[in-house]
Chains A and B, each alone.
Chain A
Amino acid sequence: MMEVKSQAGERRPTGFRNPWFQFVLNIIGVVIYELLLKAGASATANSAGDGSWIGITALTSPLTWLAIVIIIVDLVIWLYILRYIPLSIAFPLSRAVDVLVPISCWLILKEAISPLRWGGIALVIVGLIIVAKPAAQLEERL
């Protein structure tokens, strides 16, 4: 497998182990587990008392457990990403989720999106494009 030098002087893997490829996998994972968590929490919302803010009762839903499995896999991928990409770049870019989750909610959970919310989504996209430039420069330095 080909490898290139990272900023830390460490060999950075390419191909499947490329941190940016893993980054895309991570984002897809987050969107899926957020939707599963909401579905699991909603399915068990009736069993939660009014004063309950710790979602233990959501653990009775198999959807929540499927989400937990994806979260654990996603955590390992995220740690791998952080090994190669600065947090100040990786984290803002990971907010692509803030665009993908509301759109997924709209498409799958049939939650409504107002014009203002669409405006916010557009702003996030512009921000992501701007942050992606330093990420590309970082890639050139790697």
Chain B
Amino acid sequence: MNWVAVAFILFWLITFVVGQLLFKRAMESARKIGFRKPRTIMILSIGIAVMTISFLLNLGLLQHFDLSYLYPFQGSSVIIITLLAALLLKEQLTPRLILGTLLISGGVLLVSLS
């Protein structure tokens, strides 16, 4: 794997994480002010645009790697998304949730190394 592949995998991960955070933010906005409000629609639209980029990158990567090899990289997004959900969305993290998240990510890492 060359640095271009690493860069594309990283870019794919970043767009995926940002997209998920935007989706959650959009649904929070939908709950607070309503689904059809311009603010909700704007956040959701940006989220969908970012996720579309992520999707196309995913397709490109799938043409170069086995699914079972590539897919677990997405698992590393578990820790990132859980931490950012606590940091940016003010969600509550318990020690148990953190432990479970670390085990899931560790397991995914093992899968990707094997």
- Measured CB to CB, the residues of A under 8 A from B are 8, 10, 34-35, 37-38, 41-42, 44-45, 48, 52-59, 64, 71, 75, 78-79, 82-83, 86-89, 91-92, 95, 98, 101-102, 105-106, 109, 111, 113-117, 119-134
Contacts and interface: CB of A to CB of B under 8 A. Distances in A.
Interface in B61-114: 61-64, 66-68, 71-72, 74-75, 77-78, 81-82, 85-86, 89, 91-94, 96-97, 99-114
Contacts of A58: 59-60, 62-63
Contacts, number: 197
Nearest to A94: B78
A35 B74 CA distance: 15
B46 interface: no
A131 B101 contact: yes
A130 B96 contact: yes
Contact of B107 (A37, A71, A88, A98): A98
B14 interface: no
By DSSP majority rule, is chain B's interface helix, strand, loop, or mixed? helix
Contacts of B99: 127, 130
Given A88-B86, A116-B113, A82 B62 contact: no
Q: How large is the interface on B (under 10, 10 to 19, 20 to 34, 35 or more residues)?
A: 35 or more
Given A86-B85, A116-B113, A91 B62 contact: no
B16 to A, nearest CB: 11
Nearest to B55: A71
B110 A119 contact: yes
A87 B81 CA distance: 8
Contacts of B15: none
Given A8-B31, A126-B103, A127-B100, A88 B23 contact: no
